[in-house]
Structure 1
Amino acid sequence: MQVVTIAAEQRVPNKALRRVRIGLGMSQSEFAGALRKAGEAAGEPNKATKRLVQKWESGEHAWCRPQYGRALQAVTGLSHQQLGLAMYRNEYSQPQRSARPTVNPDTAAGPLDRMQRELKRAPGEEDERLARIGGQLVAGGQAAALGGWLALGSGDAAGAQRYFSAALAAARALSATAQSD
């Protein structure tokens, strides 16, 4: 069977599969090993490798063979579709190619096209980044507030005011981050 490789300019990274793998706490090599073990346990040995996982995650390969689909489901509990992969229809036919843009969508698209692309973006894509930033801002604000209380308690009103200003700045930054989502 010929494996269909998607041209570099048409690749769409498979963020769903990557999120699930990371959520399982596995490296790409560990994930490939788990796929091999699941295949062996089901009586369908496969040759999953770190490189195959990389190709799926990068969007170089958007399809998987049936035995890989079953191994993926055994490891993750999710279907190949939920993991962002299509299934080969059979061993002798090519999968249907989805319509993908052949030009850079950022330069060729108008505002409506950009909006549609943003609406189709995988949910949770920026959740990790926003959660990390929000956590840092909350911690910074709490530390500044604590510093302000300690300064005020020791009679340093000017120091307390500086800490209060820092806590307020962290709260404003957190608010701006939340509104940008």
Structure 2
Amino acid sequence: MMKKGKVTIRDIALVAVWAALTFAAKLVLAPVANVELVSLLLAVFTVVMGLERGVCTALVFATLSVVESTYYGAGDWIVLYYINWPLLTVLVKIFLRKTSGEIRAAVLLGLFGLLFDVPSAGIKLALFGPAYAATYFVSGIPFDVMHGAANFVTALFLYRPLVRQLEKARQHMER
């Protein structure tokens, strides 16, 4: 684990590999609207590897997505990524443990998906005014419901197995 004030090559490598894996999962599922594994992967990594590594991974993932925007185009979503993904790791640290059941993880990640666009609506409110923010938020409700439902289902089935496997890998690595 990260020691206070000391970042090791192992920490950097772990964060880089997990951020790359998370980014790859994002690309693979990109054709399926609002179905993603990013939330689940960041949650699992944070639970097993700790908040510091989780936040770092979220920031590296967000930066990879910004680099991707040079190809697909940039937008105000870039700010959202730097808010939401580190925020998720903090929420995970507060509400989940290695021993947490899949229902608890599914509820947290489902709510996170459902409310994902709330900060974005705030950004749009600041940039474009209340009418645009309200229109954006209301028009996104079907997508947010899908996002929340997909996060709930993926966490329900994959959270515990992923935590177990990553914990085994962590223990093996620390020998």
Q: Same fold (TM over 0.5)?
A: no
| Greater share of helix | 2
The normalised TM-score by structure 1 is: 0.26
The structure, 1 or 2, with the larger RCO (C-alpha pairs under 8 Å, 6+ apart) is 2
Report the structure number with the largest CA radius of gyration.
1
What TM-score do you get using the length of structure 2 for normalisation?
Answer: 0.26
